[in-house]
A and B are shown apart, each in its own frame.
Chain A
Amino acid sequence: QVQVQESGPGLVKPSETLSLTCTVSGGSISTYYWSWIRQPPGKGLEWIAFIYYSGTNYNPSLNSRVTISVDTSKNQVSLKLRSVTAADTAVYYCARDSEMAFDYWGQGTLVTVSS
């Protein structure tokens, strides 16, 4: 059974870089696409980016500030979001992207942007 776990700081200062890690167990990370998705408190879901064996794609609204990467040796996917503001406060989810849907999700991690 695939399990997905997000980790990272729960508090980030404005203008700094948000860094999160997604650790996958129960399956190889290299055979699937993986996405980051976020959800501001009380609001809807927003896809951020995905990564696959031969590349990445980003939400155009975040493209200039986001980097997604993978470490196959650790079975981990990482997210970096630069120059954060209060609008980036959200629960951040990592999910397996089967190219048909997000079928396995982590429980999410709340990141608050505040000084």
Chain B
Amino acid sequence: DIQMTQSPSTLSASVGDRVTITCRASQSISNWLAWYQQKPGKAPKLLIYKASSLESGVPSRFSGSGSGTEFTLTISSLQPEDFATYYCQQYNSDSRTFGQGTKLEIK
């Protein structure tokens, strides 16, 4: 099975900050990686697919990069509505796996 490891688990930041979340795969997944945002009591929302493609309607302050085993999600200037939990997720022909999540908190 492909394991996904996110870091950090918790991140404290302020409005206007630039933040980066890292996701590592236990083996190469090419660019088959997605990022989601989840707020309490809500379903996850797709932000990024194929490592760097922005889902329609998602603000351009969100960006993704990486390939192989290391990936990043960057928020260029945090807005109040961005404080949430973020998950990465790999997909291949046989399975899908999520990272454990990164909780983005207000400093």
Contact = CB atoms under 8 A, between A and B. Distances in A.
Interface of A: 35, 44-47, 50, 57, 59-60, 93, 95, 97-103, 105-108
Interface stretch (B14-22, B41-49, B65-73, B75-83): B41-49
A44 B96 CA distance: 14
B46 A44 contact: no
Interface in B1-32: 1, 32
Given A47-B98, A59-B95, A107-B43, A102 B55 contact: no
A100 B49 contact: yes
A110 to B, nearest CB: 10
Interface of B: 1, 32, 34, 36, 38, 42-46, 49-50, 55, 87, 89, 91, 94-101
Contacts, number: 60
Given A46-B98, A59-B95, A106-B43, A101 B87 contact: no
Nearest to A107: B43
A100 B87 contact: no
Given A102-B34, A105-B44, A107-B43, A44 B87 contact: yes
